[in-house]
């Protein structure tokens, strides 16, 4: 899966979680500061990402995913590791 497809999937999840109505956000978009996500939103987002991409996101990693770009890279790396 390409990073573009990962981002598209992530954007769908973000819209479905009602964090924004925009279907494309810059990579530097911050979940808390820019989208006003709280800790519950972050956990729900992580669970949806885990389900959608069939990856595991440890609780310790959830707090490290602060931007759209960081999350895309994280998911992409998890998927790459899973293919090995």
Residues with active-site annotation? 38
Tokens matching residue 60: 């310790």
30 forms beta bridges with 67
- Sign of dihedral through CA atoms 16, 21, 27, 28? negative
- CA 26 to mean position of chain CA atoms: 13
Task: Give which of 49, 46, 55 is closest to 83, Cα–Cα.
Answer: 55
């Amino acid at each position: 899966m390409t990073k573009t497809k990962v981002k598209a999937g992530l954007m769908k999840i973000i819209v479905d979680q009602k964090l924004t109505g925009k279907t494309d956000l810059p990579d530097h978009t911050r979940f808390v500061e820019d989208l006003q996500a709280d800790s519950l939103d972050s956990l729900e987002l992580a669970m949806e990402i885990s389900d959608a991409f069939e990856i595991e996101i440890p609780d310790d990693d959830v707090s490290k995913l602060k931007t759209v770009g960081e999350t895309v890279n994280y998911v992409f790396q998890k998927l790459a590791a899973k293919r090995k």
